[in-house]
Amino acid sequence: MSIDAEGLQAAEMRAAGLSVLSPVSLATGTDTKDDMSSHRLEASGTSESTNNNSSQTPNRRAPVWEYYEPDLVEIDGVLKAICKYCGTKLTANRKSGTNSLRTHIAEHCPTIPSNDRNKFVATMKKKPVDSSFTFNQQRSRDLMIAWCVRADVAFNKFDDEGFEPWMESLQPAFRCIGRQMIRDECVAKFKRAKIELRSELQSLNSRICFTSDLWTSNQKLGYICVTAHYIGPDFVLKKKIIAFKDLKYPHTGVAIEEAITTVLTDYGIKEKMFTITLDNAANNKAACDLLQESGKSDMLFGGEHLLVRCCAHILNIFVQDGINIVSAMIELIRDLIRHVNSSPLRIQDFNEIAQREYLAAKAGLVLDVPNRWNSTHAMIMEAVKYKIVLKRYAQANQQPFPTEDEFSKVEYIGEFLGVFEETTRAFSADRYATSHMFLDNVLCIHQTLNSPEWYKDEVIADLAKAMERKFDKYWNGNYNMVLVICSILDPRTKVDFLDFFYEKVCRNFIDIDLSKNQAKEWLRLYFRKYEEVIRQNDTNVVSQTVLGKRRLEQEFAEYRHQRRGTWIEKSELDAYLDEPPVRTDENFEILTWWKTNSNKYPVLSAMARDFLAIPLNIVSSESAFSLSGRILSDNRSSMTKKLLRLLKS
């Protein structure tokens, strides 16, 4: 019998007379040491339970549970919660409530830090009733409209016969509004927000990066989403959906370019465009070429580096190509998991086997989805963990199961794909700056695909070769130069990592020198361009003051040169590159560093605001489609294109 670390720990606790509640058991109110009768009832949808402990399991929603271990233990038939700080075991069931747990943390725990105790005590204090409260009709309506938009509430819900009595019970003075009025209020809110956003974008003294993607609704109508990404004067990364509009058919490059140009012109920010991140569809490439052609005079260097290919999309493409090589073996696992997930009774049978092997019960096994390779990786790794359970389930239900050799290969494939998991997360992030991590992640992929370790197995070797062919197509020296410069703008690496990168990926010394020199030349070209723009920008008072100070320093250097001899004043760029790299720290925030050093490096900090705002993916635009699918559901397909655009934007 194979017992993993989690199962071994559970076995040891049972031997000591303790019973552990797993997260699944806790959620369903069942104890893992009992038989599966309660799971059977749970699976069949009944509320009846034959397990006495299940009715005693507390509801763990109160804030106090954050201060106790996630697993309850059973001692002499009584469930106990364990304090994270001192290890004290306190009774935890529905009858006793959480009073004793709260009192222990607030007053009696001897080892809890004072900050944690004070934080908890603050949560226990009830908000005082404001006796001076005055009802504000308009404020209530504004909050209702904001809630309606945020929660995707259908307008016709406001005509429901139960809505008005409910509002009257809360505030008799509140005048209820119907669906037509709430719709008009939403339109007015959208118009006000758009004016504010347009003003904010136009007043930016930096450039703006964009992402865009296409979506087809359940009405088979095409929509385009355009998201603006920028870093403001406070060095905070922001992203705003500036358009969610219908796209005329067919979705050619001309149609996409026309839609994007219309949006940028409407907001008055066409001349602020720096880059646009798109997936690898041919019509997107054509649209980008047209954008570059029409905006050459406004873009830096004629839009030479306008197009940024979605890195998450590229990674998904070449990993999927590799997975197709071994799809037959993975399909056996996939079919078996489909069989298990197909009914509550089969999941129950699976869980009975799992608990006999001291493995946690599952509400359902991970099943991958098309075009998301990391979901395939997650499915494989869970199948590896539950291998013995799946094997015995397959035998009991006469289902096909991979041979030992096939399963070993599947496990090896899972380990291989796991190397790309962290890279996928990095490429898919959209809430913080990621462009400076581009070269680092590309190098990780390159080194993995060229590692001799993976070529020991024929199947993995074929998988790696298939992926490498796609890698060479997109990333073998074909890098957008603004992303290369981003790595230099990381004060922890500067030019050192650039040199290291090209020495690793280039095949000969000539290519290494050419690539390094090209990157450094583009860096200086961009620096001179930004320096020129900042000097000419009279509205940027702070930058002009700093540059004026630097001019005085240069005049003083010349004066000192006349008196003391030769003195060469370094440029801001050279001073930055010559300084030692910043020490690596897990809490390092690159935008905070540039904000702190913006007076020291005024030109480079202006560059950093633009370059570090470049998104490596189109996740921001893609995520808008998930919300749009909920807004324009099958029951709301009569919604007009204009109204969908308004609610989504």
- The whole-angstrom separation of Cα 275 and Cα 305 is 7
pLDDT for 21: 41
What's the N-to-C CA distance of the chain in angstroms? 56
The closest alpha carbon to 222, from 241, 250, 254, 243, belongs to 250
Three-class SS of residue 225? strand
- What's the burial of 427, exposed, middle or buried (CB within 10 Å: 0-12/13-18/19+)? buried
Mention every residue, 6+ apart, whose C-beta is less than 8 A from residue 341: 347, 364, 365, 367
Instruction: Map 537-563 to HEC letters.
Output: CCCCHHHHHHHHHHHHHHHHHHHHHHH
Tokens coding 84 = 């994270």
Question: How many other C-beta atoms are found inside a 10 Å radius of the C-beta of residue 113?
Answer: 10
Question: How far is residue 126 from each of residues 97, 116, 120, 121, 123, measured CA to CA in Å?
Answer: 18, 18, 12, 10, 8
Provide the CA 313 distance to its chain's centre, in angstroms. Answer: 14
User: How many alpha carbons fall within 13 Å on the CB side of residue 452?
Assistant: 0
Count of residues in the chain: 649
pLDDT for 236: 93
The closest alpha carbon to 633, from 615, 647, 618, 620, belongs to 647
pLDDT for 129: 64
pLDDT for 556: 66
Indicate left, alpha or beta for 303 from its phi (over 0: left) and psi (-120 to 50: alpha): left
Query: To 10 degrees, what angle do helices 481-488 and 509-536 make?
Result: 80
Indicate left, alpha or beta for 421 from its phi (over 0: left) and psi (-120 to 50: alpha): alpha
pLDDT for 554: 65
- Taking the C-alpha atoms of 644, 645, 646 and 649 in order, what is their torsion angle to the nearest 10 degrees? 120
Question: How many other C-beta atoms are found inside a 10 Å radius of the C-beta of residue 551?
Answer: 11
In b/e form, how buried is each residue of 323-342, taking b as 16+ CB within 10 angstroms? bebbeebbebbbebbebbbe
- The whole-angstrom separation of Cα 68 and Cα 101 is 9
Under a CB-based contact definition with an 8 Å cutoff, are residues 368 and 376 in contact? yes
Three-class SS of residue 90? strand
- The whole-angstrom separation of Cα 68 and Cα 292 is 58
- The whole-angstrom separation of Cα 605 and Cα 595 is 7
The closest alpha carbon to 248, from 283, 280, 300, 273, belongs to 283
> Mean pLDDT per segment of 10 residues, for the chain of length 649 residues?
40 40 35 34 33 54 82 80 86 78 87 84 71 84 86 83 88 84 86 92 94 80 90 93 87 93 94 94 93 90 93 87 81 93 93 92 87 85 94 93 88 85 84 90 89 80 84 84 95 92 87 91 95 72 52 65 56 92 86 94 95 91 57 50 56
Provide the CA 229 distance to its chain's centre, in angstroms. Answer: 15
Three-class SS of residue 324? helix
Mention every residue, 6+ apart, whose C-beta is less than 8 A from residue 557: 567, 569
Mention every residue, 6+ apart, whose C-beta is less than 8 A from residue 288: 257, 276, 278, 306, 307
Radius of gyration of the chain (CA): 30
φ, ψ at 611 (rounded to 5°): -70, -40
pLDDT for 285: 93
Under a CB-based contact definition with an 8 Å cutoff, are residues 275 and 300 in contact? no
**To which residue do tokens 């979605």 refer?**
310
